[in-house]
Amino acid sequence: MRLLVRLIGCALLLTLGAKAQAADHAPLVVYDLTHTASAGRDPVARRHAWDEQHLVAALQGLANRNSPQLYVLFVGEHGKTDQYWLDKLRGSGLDGGQWLADRPIAKARDVTDLLQRFKSTYRGVVVYDEHVPATAVIASTVAGADDLLPIRFDDSPGSLYHQLVLDLAGPRLTVKVRLINADGSPMFTGNITGSAKCDALLWAVDHYLKTGKCDPTRLAYYPDAYWIDHALDVPSDRTLLCNHDFFISRRAFFFDLNVWEDESPSDDPRQPLGTDLQTLRTILRAAHDRAKGRMIAVGGFTPWDQKYTNHTGGKHEGVATEWRYAAILSSFDAYMDADAPGLNAMANASVFQHFPLNDRYPQKSIPTEAQLHARGFLDAGGKVVPHNYASIYVGDYDSAAWLYQTMPRIWDDPNRGSVPLGWAFDPEIADRFPLGLHYARATASANDTFISGDSGYAYLNPGGLVPPRKWSDLPSGLPAWEALCTQAYRRWDLRVTGFVIDGFSPRMNAQVKSTYARFSPGGVVEQISDTPASLVNGVPFLRMQRDLPEPGKAVAAVEKAFSESKPLQPHFAIFRTVLWTPTQHKQLFDAVTRERPDVVFVEPNTLFLLLKRSMQ
């Protein structure tokens, strides 16, 4: 009997291996989805765009679960961002050969062609109810867990549901899961919580999260189908349906909820106050309980361009809403991959997730003491020469989507390498966009150094990891965070934590600071601190200066930071820029040094080495 089991097991492994090998040499199917990007305000066009984007993203997630098979052109004008990265995968710029260079390209004609090509990856469909918009994101949860395709219920001729499910001439896909009654009436009515939206999400918690059908360490906060009839000025790429592919491939749990309890959310104005918030806490607690000590990754961001803030008629500002959300996540050992509105669309992460990374990425230019002497920063006695030392935290790259969209413009800027910069790429970006981090390291100049973004491995509030934890009352999650950061800092050769965001959580206490000192021995930048600089177990902590405004006004901001500096002492400051190009940084450096030759710009690793030497 044991021999039979072993033989069956060996045969299964050989079969799976043969299938994987065949998939690695099969054509890479490319589908152009850009025709759905111009839906405008027309209700029929918006529904067609939503339906096709949703189905294609789910199919892509299922098809790419084990290896890259389906690539989509959608993000950027006429899909140029997606094409840029496909060219990188098949062309130049990557060390060690081009990953997909030997894969022929096959172009799919339409959705029906796609369904035929990848019919072995799905078992049927999950049908949802646009009148309970939350069922759209629940359908993505079900799609990943049950290998199904999400389709909005719409029995009118010409709809995707009619074409794929009802039409006798179509593929007649089987409905496996319904999130709407067969007659089209709502399955979720609010009879439990007073909110149909929250009833539906709690049903999904019971059936998919608590049962283990979803990965409890992978959540996704993306807008639901409210966009179809309400967010009329929001373009269709910011539905973020194109982002679903990765999370469906990873069997993530999706949600879209408000974080405030003092006003009803605009997408569900009749719910009892705080129902959304309580539902969010229920989801996070269920995930935490099943994660069993592992950190929880949450893709997405508060959709302030569509709901929940004063931008769309609420009373809370966007940053305050972000900080409330971050504080809640942190209390449950969760961090975000912050796809903030504006640059938040990212297709093809289910392809990129398979990109083979190196075990380690040593930095090219961490300064030594001899180099500090040679550059005139240390005198003959080893003391820091008194200058005003300034450095730049080049952000914001705590989102794989932001890096995906901006890297072609910012990283490829012709002046990159002409000035010393500290690129703040969060290590967690490697989950969805390992290609981007690899490409940056492969093409970095001696002036391109790397630090972590906020707040280490990823965006959370570290003060929310330790008791008392307002939103969860859970024990400390700090050991799990330290383990995650330690491993990532080693792989990416990071020494400096570029920015710790406290937000609405408690500040870092002594225990949290000691933890950061262990995995970030080069230095730590604080958002809030009673002192400009301090040493914690021999590691320098430095308070962040103000964010620099647009380049034309930034010179005065840098000069002001050093306005009270004493001429015979060294002084240190780090500034944050958001989406500046190297050319803009060079213009700033040139302008400042013309006005203030006592200001010396260095990259952050050098800044902290000098700061530590000065403080010691």
Flag whether pLDDT at 71 surpasses 50. yes
**What's the burial of 368, exposed, middle or buried (CB within 10 Å: 0-12/13-18/19+)?**
exposed
Flag whether pLDDT at 575 surpasses 70. yes
- Between CA 318 and CA 601 the distance in angstroms is 33
Could you report the per-residue pLDDT of 275-332, keeping only the tens digit for each? 999 999 999 999 999 999 999 999 999 999 999 999 999 999 999 999 999 999 999 9
**What pLDDT is attached to residue 94?**
62
- Residue given tokens 């969860």 in the structure block: 472
Domain range summary for the chain, segments of one domain joined by +? 122-352, 373-615
Flag whether pLDDT at 1 surpasses 90. no
How is residue 104 written in tokens? 């022929």
Cα dihedral 343, 551, 398, 344, rounded to 10, equals: 0
Half-sphere exposure of 337 (CA within 13 A, CB side): 30
Nearest CA-CA partner of 573 in 345, 355, 391: 391
**What pLDDT is attached to residue 95?**
54
Residue 550: pLDDT band (50, 70, 90) is: confident
User: Concatenated DSSP letters for 166-210?
Assistant: I-TTS----EEEESB-TTS-BS--STTTS-HHHHHHHHHIIIIIT
Q: In this structure, is the dihedral angle defined by the CA atoms of residues 592, 594, 597 and 602, taken in order, positive or negative?
A: positive
Of 1-5, 122-126, 376-380, 382-386, give the lowest mean pLDDT range: 1-5
Flag whether pLDDT at 6 surpasses 70. no
Could you report the per-residue pLDDT of 397-411, keeping only the tens digit for each? 999 999 999 999 999
How is residue 533 written in tokens? 């600089």
Look at 46 and 97; give whichever has higher pLDDT: 46
- Between CA 474 and CA 210 the distance in angstroms is 18
Q: What is the CA radius of gyration of the chain?
A: 25
Look at 90 and 465; give whichever has higher pLDDT: 465
**CATH of region 373-615:** 3.20.20.490
Flag whether pLDDT at 17 surpasses 80. no
DSSP strand pairing (523-526 vs 496-500): parallel
Residue 22: pLDDT band (50, 70, 90) is: very low
Whole-model pTM: value is 0.94
Could you report the per-residue pLDDT of 99-117, keeping only the tens digit for each? 999 999 999 999 999 999 9
**What is the mean predicted confidence (pLDDT) over 196-212?**
98
**What pLDDT is attached to residue 368?**
87
Of 18-22, 129-133, 415-419, 573-577, give the lowest mean pLDDT range: 18-22
Flag whether pLDDT at 537 surpasses 70. yes
Backbone angles phi, psi at 221, to 5 degrees: -105, 95
5, 81, 120, 304 from 2: Cα distances, Å? 5, 53, 31, 58
**What pLDDT is attached to residue 152?**
98
Could you report the per-residue pLDDT of 210-238, keeping only the tens digit for each? 999 999 999 999 999 999 999 999 999 99
Q: What is the DSSP letter of 546?
A: P
User: Percent of the chain at pLDDT above 70?
Assistant: 95
298, 356, 417, 439 from 96: Cα distances, Å? 32, 10, 23, 11
User: Concatenated DSSP letters for 495-541?
Assistant: -EEEEE--TTSPPP-HHHHHHHHHH-TTEEEESS-SSSEEEETTEEE
What contacts 56, CB < 8 A, 6 or more positions away? 31, 33, 72, 111, 114
**Mean pLDDT taken over the chain:** 94
Order the strands of the 253-255 sheet from edge to edge. Answer: 253-255, 218-221, 296-300, 334-337
The answer to whether 29 and 116 have CB atoms below 8 angstroms apart is no
**What is the mean predicted confidence (pLDDT) over 249-258?**
98
